[in-house]
Structure 1
């Protein structure tokens, strides 16, 4: 145990001193210009004590001193796995679906609103997963297609009075066309060059939305977008249909849930199709895939278009829910956030990305009561996750095994 502690005490000491230097501007500098150190040092001592205990537990576990605890825990894990294994996978899907359906009935308005955001970002994360996780292309301007979908519905609805259900596929189609236009000249590049170019095109789309006053109303945005509507049959004075405007948060939740399920099924089917296998071959080794007869440019362009398609669907729903769109909702920070969800959850893994979305969207809301420390705790949690789970929370499972993995 002592030898294990000697290996890491320097890194631990440097990290705690760095944390002290980070905490002091947050807690020691006040709005009136005064400087104090007592509160910072007190908070730092609490963090030091807690992390020191965690460090000793970790070192003791690595040295085998906690076997009297880990052995019973492993036994419980095996018992749970033996209990879960006989049930087919569809049973757990049904259980999760039932819980998702009754969720707004057992929670409040705030929790339902957070759940809608989670479902919306699941659609975005899975769309970007097609580009980054399956095809292996780093896209830093993905949120631009989200904006194209949102503005498509906003412009058609406010200017021409077109309904949501007619605009939903149109938003996806326009986003797909935008993806093809952006992807055609950029996908001949690889690596960092591709990331820089996609970042540039993403900013170009945002600037166009911000300056095209006649179409997008510029930085003022488009106000008065109609929400989702449903035709309900009415039998008073004969048979007719009446338009029902969805305004309750619970109904928006169910629409977001249906959209997320549609995207999950679509990405899953793509993943296990011939196209998905071609994408994975390009991700692993583009040159070898091209030598084996895969038209790498066409498949990369298809991945870019499919990712834009899912983003367009999410964008149309976002505009209908918020009833207002502006260029400030589609900045580079949003692209970076969606990319973090994909990397944190596990590239190519559908359940991993869903868990990554929950971690990045719901976790800050859970920590909202900590006020000033919320983002600090959130950042530390993300760093710990990436240190101990570098492949993601739920890494993607390979269809087969490589020869070196068998050895």
Structure 2
């Protein structure tokens, strides 16, 4: 690394720290008692020392002074990667599933609550992954289908006495119909226009839920939603609800995997890469994009029905734009089009903040910085998607 490049990096680091201080002081320095500087400069000092250390470490690494450590580490990583590639997938999946089944037996209520949230977001993330990751359609109103599924179960169970297991496919179907209704007038648009329109439709659904008093009880929400029952067993304990959402999440993963490696999945990928070329090759782009919306909404409907049963209450405030942005961030951070990537993205955005809850105000600050750094280092995501399928000449 030349002196000019090193100087440029240090200047960039300094400018970034100054901006960080400008953003940090209003958060920590303005208090009801007046202006305070000590707390701000204390936090800024920690961050500045960490940034300088990282910059120094990076320059030492670029200069090649850490090759004696990096080369053996890279070799060990390569050996682990080869062992992973050689291990049959069914063995790895069996181990992961066994750990997931055992998890509630060896953990407490707080861990159950966090893991249930993780599994709900896995269903939502994989559903949105179909729309964004496979079909390449930017949807900013995806959480509306989550709300449709939740309200469908709440209304069906309270007014018609239907069981959770019967309402589960009905909620998915209702969400899929909502996906088609929202998708039909919007899918002739592309890019930013599509994103703006889907954002508008998502807000329309939220406002309907908030203002249709006769049906949804408006901002007061719907109370006393029954928990699932199976052969006389009521899923009241939290650990039992964990197994319900685990089964739904496993079904979602298998379904999305089959769709991903099917002819439909390859058609979605063709649309994502070049919609005009796909249409010229005979792909019915409009119908397949509509199908992507419907399938993504289906899994959101499953998650919504479970959410209503778990909370025993649904209200419109649970389905805001912030939730759509959160699910989209999980897909992008994990790796668009990648099932393991989406799962890792959910763990990064749901489980990790809970692990650092003891840091109080600073945990989200650190978390945002780590996310930004992650997207700079790996813009394709934590676990980028592999290409779906191979051409015949590539196989030869």
1:232-258 per-residue CA deviation (whole Å, 9 max, x = no partner) reads xxxxxxxxxxx2211111111111111
TM-score, normalisation: structure 1: 0.94
1:147 aligns with 2:147: yes
Is the counterpart of residue 66 in structure 1 residue 66 in structure 2? Answer: yes
Q: Distance in 2 between matches of 1:326 and 1:133?
A: 29
Count of residue pairs the alignment pairs up: 391
Q: Comparing 106-115 with 349-358, which one deviates more in the overlay?
A: 106-115
Work out the CA distance in 1 between the residues paired with 2:113 and 2:38.
39
SS of the equivalent of 1:336 reads helix
Q: CA deviation at 1:275?
A: 0.4
Structure 2: distance between partners of 1:252 and 1:175: 22
Structure 2, unaligned stretches of length 5 or more?
none
Q: In the superposition, relative to structure 1, how do residues 59 and 401 fare at CA in structure 2: closer, same or farther (>3 Å)?
A: farther
Distance 1:85 1:293 in 2: 36
Q: 1:399 to 1:144 in 2, by over 3 A?
A: closer
CA contact (8 A) 2:268 2:289 kept: yes
In the other structure, the counterpart of 2:113 is 113
Q: What is residue 253 of structure 2 aligned with on the other side? A: 264
Distance 1:141 1:82 in 2: 41
Counterpart of 1:237 in structure 2 is none
Q: How does 1:15-54 map to 2 (within 5 A)?
A: 15-32=16-33, 34-54=34-54
SS at match of 1:185: coil
Deviates more, 1:159-168 or 1:320-329: 159-168
Q: Which residue of 2 aligns with 1:348?
A: 337
Residue of structure 2 in register with 1:247 after alignment: 236
* Conserved? CA contact 2:261–2:389, under 8 Å: no
Which among 364, 370, 376 is matched to residue 375 of structure 1? 364
Structure 1 residue 364 displacement after superposition: 1.1
Q: Distance in 1 between matches of 2:233 and 2:27?
A: 49
1:29 is displaced (CA, Å) by 1.6
Residues 292-371 of structure 1: matches in 2 within 5 Å? 292-371=281-360
For residues 82 and 306 of structure 1, do their structure 2 counterparts lie closer, same or farther at Cα, with a shift above 3 Å needed? closer
Q: Deviations over 1:112-171 (max 9, x none)?
A: 110000000000000000000000000011000100000000011112211111111100
What TM-score, normalized by structure 2, do the two folds share?
A: 0.96
Partners of 2:82 and 2:342 in 1: how far apart? 26
Gap change, CA 1:135 and 1:24, over 3 Å in 2: same
Shift of 1:401: 7.6
Partners of 1:211 and 1:86 lie apart in 2 by: 56
Distance 1:172 1:394, change over 3 A: same
CA contact (8 A) 2:261 2:388 kept: no
Counting only pairs closer than 5 Å after superposition, residues 87-236 of structure 1 correspond to structure 2 as: 87-231=87-231
Instruction: In structure 1, list runs of 5 or more residues that go unmatched.
Output: 232-242
CA apart distance, 1:400: 6.0
**Residue 179 and residue 83 in structure 1: after superposition, are their counterparts in 2 closer, same or farther (change >3 A)?**
closer
2:379 matched to 1:397? no
Secondary structure of the 2:36 match is coil
Match of 2:274 in 1: 285
**CA–CA separation in structure 2 for the residues paired with 1:196 and 1:288:** 25
Instruction: Return 36-45 or 160-169, whichever deviates more.
Output: 36-45
SS in 1 for 2:383: coil
Whole-angstrom distance in 1 between the partners of 2:283 and 2:82: 42
Q: Distance in 2 between matches of 1:48 and 1:208?
A: 48
Query: Would you say the 8 A contact 2:266–2:389 is kept in 1?
Result: no
Q: Deviations over 1:75-129 (max 9, x none)?
A: 2213323444432111111111111111111111101110000000000000000
Cα offset, 1:281, TM superposition: 0.5
